[in-house]
Chains A and B, each alone.
Chain A
Amino acid sequence: MLARVARSAASEPFISCLTRTHHHIFPVLTNQIQFSRHFNFPTRKNSPSPFAAAAKMEDVRVLMICPMNSYLEQELDKQFKLLKLWAHPQKQEFLKQHSESIRAVVGNATAGADAEMIEALPKLEIISSFSVGLDKIDLIKCKEKGIRVTNTPDVLTEEVADLAIGLMLAVCRRICECDKYVRKGMWKLGDFKLTTKFSGKTVGIIGLGRIGLAIAKRAEAFGCPISYHSRSEKPNTNYKYRASLIDLASNCDILVVACALTPETHHIVNREVIDALGPKGILINIGRGPHVDEPELVLALVEGRLGGAGLDVFEKEPEVPQQLFDLNNVVLLPHVGSGTIETRKAMADLVIGNLEAHFMNKPLLTPVV
């Protein structure tokens, strides 16, 4: 039977072949097809059968856009045919060469799949992002073409929230600056100056999603009153909702960006918001660089119109505005929000799990599209 099934697969779309010839054996599959047609789900043009997929997963060509995690690379290499885009200086040539065979793309916060890349890969079925943010993927194009998209929510929520609080403490209490002070032997010359108390400061959160809520929970343990701004007020929280971002910035001591990057939230922290936050205010960005108008931020910090900043993300990573390097009220990190060994492994397992599920025709673990 398997041989007959395999031969059929060569000549006609496999699913319809199966359902036609073996609907009594695969009633569930038949129902699934009927279900998906009835509800107008995008049908996958080249969907494999469970048997063929399981046997041939190692032949599935997966394109990894950039280096992101060696454990992920190793596992992808073991289970699939891994193609590493960054290893080829002539990227366009390489894509052309493999365009008919690439069925999956693995991207991350730095690089994903824009419309051009999606168009260049006609056999693309799934994009599995090694990130929770999806701003590097053209989701509309994916929906149009029936390409599935997955990300890595939940496993990195706590990590990013921990880092947000770590940045708040580092900026308020000048931890990095003091460490430098001691290492340069300056303590012998005199005590350090007074710093800003963190406990009890009002924390304003832009975006009260998973990460925003985790930040709120932690800040509350320091006695920090919490307020937030988002598209709509969230039920079941005691936090103060501010309908306007200017209102939020004017009424908090520390403003933290924790929302998704979309066209609406691009440069959401602009000069007006920065001025509302003020010369004693502190901005923390653990979202995406483009959330903040970076030149305006740099100007405000250099001119002393903003009290301080803790930044894990930038508009053009890994480029960071050099004017920030000498500012002691600014702490800069190289996009390490989810950067722990444990979390990156959990993210990698999700990426692989989603790919496996797709190619074995099982429900995706964390689908977005």
Chain B
Amino acid sequence: MATPIQKPSSPRQQLGQIVHLGLSSFLNTHHKEFSSKFQILRPSESKFPLDQFFTAEAQNTQAAICSGGFKLSADILRHLPSLRLIVATTSGLNNIDLSECRKRGISVINAGNIYSADVADLAVGMVIDLMRKISAGNRFVKTGLWPKQGDYLLGSKLGGKQVGIVGLGSIGVEVAKRLEAFGCKISYYSRKKKPCVSYTFYSNIHKLASVSDILVICCALTEQTRHLINREVLLTLGKEGLIVNIARGAIIDEKELVRCLLQREIAGAGLDVFEHEPRVPQELFGLDNVVLSPHFAVYTEGASRHLEEHLIGNLEAFFSNRPLLSPVLDDE
């Protein structure tokens, strides 16, 4: 719900002061417009360690932008005593200590639906790539093998396949809508059954894996979902099964995933996220049945524009004491 956030009275500033926690290539692209609207503190560009920087520069800073890779811990929050609002540039909030924010009365906004279409597009792109061997076929042609080796391997029909969506949030819903148009049958696993949804609900991840040909991971990373996809789930998915992860690396037990791929316990995987980015298990590099991407599901020029609008809109509202544009999230 969008409500004005009461700020303690402070000297009126020409430009609102924001501390930018972490690095963001998005924001660097639109640096100029953003800089012109706010006074931005960039601790990542300072030669001083973070705590010293905050103590020296950010004691009165009331708003922060937090990028996905930055661990916004309780300790960091202690160094930002005036903080009232955090605007995350991501949909996921697993890097932010939400319970500490709550204790301190700091409101947190995430990126909401800005990225849902783009992330869903990548998930579907990976599913089709795996089923129809697009990246592998592209390599086959570009290394000059077609005239030498003749026809390439046959792929697998997408229509009629059972797709299991893990987490039917805004991204999961967009993935489902798209894959339905290809004739896929959709089921999902979620904490609670969603009302007004015609897809089959499973309250147990193993059951979902047992009925699915393709699992698409779309849920948030929390303590409950860490390593949700373990060896048992992968074996249940089976030798013809595919898995696509565009959520967070740690939702899958990565060591077990690699093992299952090497032992052909599952048919293939599409991975945009990994447990220790940017490190990617090297054993995957030689496999033709995996598609790998560098956590870039949100990196489109369209999403970049929307993010900028989202940040500027909410921060301007905050500094003018107007209702925020996006809902403030509760720590669940």
Contacts and interface: CB of A to CB of B under 8 A. Distances in A.
Given A193-B299, A332-B138, A166 B293 contact: no
Nearest to B272: A178
A318 B147 contact: yes
Contacts of B277: 187
Nearest to A221: B181
Interface stretch (A72-80, A167-175, A226-234): A167-175
B155 interface: yes
B268 to A, nearest CB: 12
A21 B49 CA distance: 106
A218 B296 contact: no
Interface stretch (A22-30, A41-49, A90-98, A334-342): A334-342
Interface stretch (B55-63, B121-129, B191-199): B121-129
Contact of B132 (A166, A192, A324, A344): A166
B292 A195 contact: no
Nearest to B116: A199
Give the size category of A's interface with B: 35 or more
Given A175-B135, A218-B182, A333-B134, A182 B300 contact: no
Nearest to A339: B154
Given A173-B300, A336-B132, A178 B294 contact: yes
Interface in B127-183: 128-129, 131-135, 137-142, 144, 146-147, 150-152, 154-159, 177-178, 180-183
Contacts of A162: 128, 131-132, 158-159, 182
A131 B301 CA distance: 39
Contacts of B280: 182, 187
B182 A192 contact: no
B29 interface: yes
A318 B299 CA distance: 35
B181 A218 contact: yes
Interface in A163-194: 163, 165-167, 169-170, 172-173, 175-176, 178-179, 181-183, 187-188, 191-194
Contact of A340 (B124, B154, B291, B302): B154
B297 to A, nearest CB: 9
A50 to B, nearest CB: 36
Contacts of A181: 294
Contacts of B129: 166, 169-170, 175-176
Contacts of A193: 299
Nearest to B156: A340
Contact of A200 (B151, B178, B291, B302): B302
A172 B293 CA distance: 14
Contacts of A170: 125, 129, 134-135, 138
Contact of A173 (B121, B155, B159, B279): B121
Interface in B274-301: 277-280, 285, 291-296, 299-301
B159 A197 contact: no
A35 interface: no
A222 interface: yes
A272 B107 CA distance: 55
A53 B180 CA distance: 45
- 9 interchain residue pairs of minimum CB distance: A169-B125, A197-B302, A166-B128, A221-B181, A197-B300, A199-B117, A318-B146, A332-B141, A187-B278
Interface of A: 67, 158-159, 162-163, 165-167, 169-170, 172-173, 175-176, 178-179, 181-183, 187-188, 191-200, 217-218, 220-223, 317-320, 322, 324-325, 331-336, 339-344
17 contacts: A159-B159, A165-B128, A165-B182, A166-B134, A170-B138, A187-B277, A188-B279, A194-B301, A198-B125, A218-B181, A221-B178, A221-B181, A332-B142, A334-B141, A336-B155, A339-B155, A343-B157
